[in-house]
Structure 1
Amino acid sequence: MQAAPFHAAMARGPEGGRAVWLRTEDGVRIRLGLWPGPAAAQGTVFLLPGRTEYVEKYGPAAADLAARGYAMLAVDWRGQGLADRPLDDPLKGHVAHFPDFQRDLAAVIATATEIDLPRPWFVLGHSMGGAIGLRALMGVHPFAAAAFSAPMWGIGLPPLIHPFGPQISRLFDASALAERYAPGTGPGTYVLSAPFLDNKLTTDPGMWAFMVGHLGEAPELALGGPTLHWVTQGILECEALAALASPDLPCLTAIGGAERIIDIPAAKARMARWPKGRLEVFEGAQHELMMEGATTRARFFDAVAETFARA
């Protein structure tokens, strides 16, 4: 493994954090961030970030998990963070095929095995990482339990066209528009273009400033809106996942009561048919529970740790 750039001070994670480069089976370079837990760690949490996110953003989460006995890793998925970006315009959020993210996760699991990270292993997926994590759990996997924060198990569309989303997505994928920004988006990064008041991510001004500060200090981490192709691939992946039975392992899914980004009915429908799962709603919180105020974060990580400990 080759050492990769890592903004330790900016991340505010536990001491000993580092990053390494990984190469996936199809030749894409991705970045893996690693934070050690306590000396006698109770396991390792594989934190799977959402779209636009990057390793350093989850330094505080690593600290919260370390305080509860866990080591943690996070990944820059292909197309974001410092991982390889596929298009000439690096600000476009793009992936050739949504299942390609499984190649990234396979490289992470192989490295975790090679360096013998503390077991048992657990998966914690946020937003897009929730879709990637759920797909992994549908096959052979090394995880003892799962937790999800605002998982992307459906992509919100206007009510009148929602039933036709998969058909529309296939039409876009076959057109010359596929690599254009999705309507209403562009090269601007949300946390740099949206005001704190009425933002859709967090109610906590300190965590908002934390995210804004990252992109001021390390602008190479920024990502703009998704391409039409990314959106269509996401719709098709959510459609495929919805047709599958829930995995047979303990699961916690948490959603903010003020959530305005994910498809809430899709998350509720999944948890209603997850025998070993439970859904917890955090009233007043928005999309990023791990970037909310201290009280919400503590409640969230306590619930995650409880789920993992029971497993």
Structure 2
Amino acid sequence: MDLSPAPFFADMAGVPAGGQAHWLNTADNTRIRVGHWLPEGDTCGTVMMFPGRTEYIEKYGNCAAEFTDRGFAFLAVDWRGQGLADRLLDDPRVGHVEQFTDYQQDVQATLDLATELNLPKPWFVIGHSMGGAIGMRAALEKNCFAACAFTGPMWGIFFTPIMKPLSRLTAYWGPRIGLGEKTPPTTSLESYVASQPFEGNVLTRDPDMFQMMKDQLVAQPELALGAPSTIWLREALDECAWLMDQTAPDTPCLTFLGSHEQIVDRKAIRTRMANWPSGTLVEITDGEHEVLMEAPDVRGPVFDQLAAHFKAAQTDAVPEPVLSS
């Protein structure tokens, strides 16, 4: 494997020292970017972070610090169509994928890199939002993770009662009438984080973390991404439906859901976790979509529980998580 170095914005807030990034070419010749960190001393394995739509490696710098401090190697990926990976449409502000399963080519390239770098095993995965859908299929098909975890996973997309039929109509008829690469009605080509104030945002209740995300996009605007294409929406809806039809894998699973979640479907998450034999759902009181980006008194215990969950998978004994109050 050609380990070509990729740009890496190590000076961004929250990004620990020692990280490296690489360009990878997938099987269909799409270029993606993967970053990784190693802890000092002995390791407990490698945590692979599968980010959500619009996200990028550096956003998870704080997570890299949390896990390397706890003895884990850490890896994160820029999926096709976002971050510094290849953008797939002429307008780079539109998030797009031709088929949702194309993301599994990105997963395979990432696993190949982890093998080439000899990143310590066992391997674990955390899937956030869209990365939760990608990560669940990977857990079902790849059989390489000792344990998995999810935060606000996209196993269904939240729509208001009024928007649900309109969104489905757009997703399934838009591509048929030549609007597949256009964004759905009421959406914006501007980055949500860059264009929204902290007050009333649906990502986090921590103003410092929200400001950090804004500052990162001001410093490196090429990382920003706007609304998805209608083809992406169609593919995402189909993928969510497929995932909900699958039997949960035997892999130990810990999932976090913010009580104020407004981006993904809370009912789908509760239904899935109620039918995951070795799975536990923890609901975060007053949490928004990004529990890993909440205030320190919220995210600190979440990282503790994730680390304990992964370490327990090494001994086949998963502890009961501490519920947030």
Pairwise same-fold verdict (TM > 0.5): yes
Task: Determine which of 76, 88, 95 is the counterpart of 2:90.
Answer: 88
Please give the residue correspondences for 1:74-223 in structure 2 after superposition, counting only pairs within 5 Å.
74-159=76-161, 162=164, 169-223=171-225
Distance 1:33 1:14, change over 3 A: same
Whole-angstrom distance in 1 between the partners of 2:190 and 2:166: 29
Deviations for 1:51-92, whole angstroms, at most 9, x for unmatched residues? 000000000000011121111000000000000011000000
Contact 2:180/2:231 (8 A) holds in 1: yes
Residue 167 of structure 1: how far off its partner (Å): 7.5
Corresponding residue number in structure 1 for 2:61: 59
Number of corresponding residues: 311
Contact 1:169/1:236 (8 A) holds in 2: no
Displaced runs of 4+ in structure 1, greater than 4 A? Answer: 160-168
Task: Determine which of 260, 263, 268 is the counterpart of 2:262.
Answer: 260
SS at 1:45's partner residue?
strand
Task: Determine which of 259, 265, 269 is the counterpart of 2:271.
Answer: 269
Whole-angstrom distance in 2 between the partners of 1:287 and 1:168: 24
Provide the aligned C-alpha RMSD in A.
Answer: 1.5
Residue 165 of structure 1: how far off its partner (Å): 7.2
Q: Which runs of 5+ in 1 are unaligned?
A: none
* Structure 1 length-normalised TM: 0.96
Matched letter for residue 182 of structure 1:
P
Corresponding residue number in structure 1 for 2:236: 234
SS at 2:132's partner residue?
helix
Task: Determine which of 18, 21, 29 is the counterpart of 1:19.
Answer: 21
Whole-angstrom distance in 2 between the partners of 1:249 and 1:222: 34
SS at 2:243's partner residue?
helix
SS at 1:174's partner residue?
helix
Deviations for 1:249-268, whole angstroms, at most 9, x for unmatched residues? 11000011111111000000
Distance 1:227 1:168, change over 3 A: closer
Contact 1:129/1:151 (8 A) holds in 2: yes
Deviations for 1:86-144, whole angstroms, at most 9, x for unmatched residues? 10000001111100000000000001011100110000010000000001111132100
Matched letter for residue 253 of structure 2:
C
Q: Which runs of 5+ in 2 are unaligned?
A: 314-325
Task: Determine which of 221, 224, 227 is the counterpart of 1:225.
Answer: 227
Deviations for 1:129-188, whole angstroms, at most 9, x for unmatched residues? 000000111113210000000000001234367589768633333231111111221211
Whole-angstrom distance in 2 between the partners of 1:196 and 1:82: 25
SS at 1:9's partner residue?
coil
Contact 2:170/2:184 (8 A) holds in 1: no
* Structure 2 length-normalised TM: 0.92
Matched letter for residue 106 of structure 2:
D
SS at 2:286's partner residue?
coil
Deviations for 1:206-265, whole angstroms, at most 9, x for unmatched residues? 101100000100000000111111111100000111110001011000011111111000
Whole-angstrom distance in 1 between the partners of 2:77 and 2:206: 24
Whole-angstrom distance in 1 between the partners of 2:9 and 2:165: 44
SS at 1:146's partner residue?
strand
Task: Determine which of 39, 46, 57 is the counterpart of 1:44.
Answer: 46
Contact 1:172/1:232 (8 A) holds in 2: no
Whole-angstrom distance in 2 between the partners of 1:11 and 1:73: 18
Percent identity, aligned pairs only, is: 48
Contact 1:13/1:35 (8 A) holds in 2: no
Deviations for 1:25-73, whole angstroms, at most 9, x for unmatched residues? 0000000011112321100000000000000000000001112111100
Distance 1:21 1:109, change over 3 A: same
